[in-house]
């Protein structure tokens, strides 16, 4: 169990929230959690983007690294237009089980509000130096992550770059770049359940 989840657990009361503690046994998510890397299809690392209406609507961008989900909150969500630079605020590591969490976090709890899985899939680390693939931990430390997403809504290269003003999420220029697409608007529903954020919020307490 990774110590990097301490902050995640400290912020939450698992008797109240339906979010996973990252300590449970059983289920596919728990099986994933014990694995070093490659919880996604075909043993590749996974990514997930959760749409979350807390005090403010945002998209939580998470990538599997070293058995946890490294996370950023992206207020405007991801773009498919390489000219768009989306602010991405680093947040605490989340347990692997979080990757399929959808539900309404109750009032008074950290992050109160509805969560859906807006997109998910696997990713490939694109960062290389000569013949050497640069480990993701090193990319994070340097503040330069380049990955190719294979999601249902998002595909192709995305960069997460740390600048003097914080991190930015930017679509890389490739065959999947498309300035005319606007998937956060045109494809709002969950890729797991088909539900919208409003439907999940409305089912709270049931
Ligand atoms: Mn969030």
Q: Is the dihedral of CA 84, 85, 91, 93 positive or negative?
A: positive
Element (H, E) at 202: helix 197-202
Q: Are 13 and 21 in contact (CB under 8 A)?
A: no
pLDDT at 78: 98
Mean pLDDT for each consecutive 10-residue tract of the chain (206 residues)? 81 92 59 58 91 96 96 98 98 96 94 97 96 95 97 98 96 97 97 96 71
First-last CA distance in the chain: 32
Q: Is the dihedral of CA 22, 23, 29, 32 positive or negative?
A: positive
pLDDT at 149: 98
Q: Give residue 49 CA to ligand 1 midpoint distance, Å.
A: 10
Q: Give residue 18 CA to ligand 1 midpoint distance, Å.
A: 14
The closest of 68, 107, 113, 114 to 91, measured between CA atoms, is: 68
Q: Give residue 59 CA to ligand 1 midpoint distance, Å.
A: 7
Domain ranges within the chain, ordered by starting residue = 6-204
Q: Give residue 189 CA to ligand 1 midpoint distance, Å.
A: 16
> pTM score, two decimals?
0.90
Q: Give residue 58 CA to ligand 1 midpoint distance, Å.
A: 6
Q: Give residue 153 CA to ligand 1 midpoint distance, Å.
A: 19
Q: Which residues surround ligand 1, an ion (CB under 5 A)?
A: 52, 60
Q: Are 167 and 160 in contact (CB under 8 A)?
A: yes
pLDDT at 23: 82
Beta strands in 4-112, from DSSP E residues, in sequence order: 46-53, 57-65, 68-74, 85-95, 103-105
State pLDDT tens for residues 83-137: 999 999 999 999 999 999 999 999 999 999 999 999 999 999 999 999 999 999 9
Q: Give residue 205 CA to ligand 1 midpoint distance, Å.
A: 20
Q: Give residue 129 CA to ligand 1 midpoint distance, Å.
A: 33
Q: Give residue 110 CA to ligand 1 midpoint distance, Å.
A: 9
Element (H, E) at 29: helix 27-33
């Amino acid at each position: 169990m990774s110590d990097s989840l301490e902050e995640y657990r400290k912020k939450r009361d698992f008797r109240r929230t339906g979010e996973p503690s990252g300590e449970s046994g059983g289920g596919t998510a728990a099986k994933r959690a014990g694995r070093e890397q490659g919880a996604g299809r075909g043993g590749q690392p996974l990514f997930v983007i959760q749409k979350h209406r807390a005090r403010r609507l945002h998209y939580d961008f998470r990538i599997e690294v070293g058995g946890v989900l490294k996370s950023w909150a992206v207020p405007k969500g991801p773009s498919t237009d390489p000219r768009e630079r989306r602010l991405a605020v680093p947040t605490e590591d989340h347990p692997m089980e979080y990757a399929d969490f959808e539900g309404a976090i109750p009032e008074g709890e950290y992050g109160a509000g509805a969560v859906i899985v807006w997109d998910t899939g696997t990713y490939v680390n694109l960062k290389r130096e000569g013949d050497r693939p640069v480990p993701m931990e090193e990319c994070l430390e340097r503040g330069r992550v380049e990955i190719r997403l294979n999601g249902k809504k998002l595909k192709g290269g995305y960069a997460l770059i740390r600048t003097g003003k914080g991190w930015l999420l930017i679509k890389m220029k490739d065959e999947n770049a498309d300035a005319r697409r606007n998937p956060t608007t045109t494809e709002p529903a969950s890729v797991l359940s088909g539900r919208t954020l409003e439907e999940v919020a409305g089912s709270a307490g049931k």
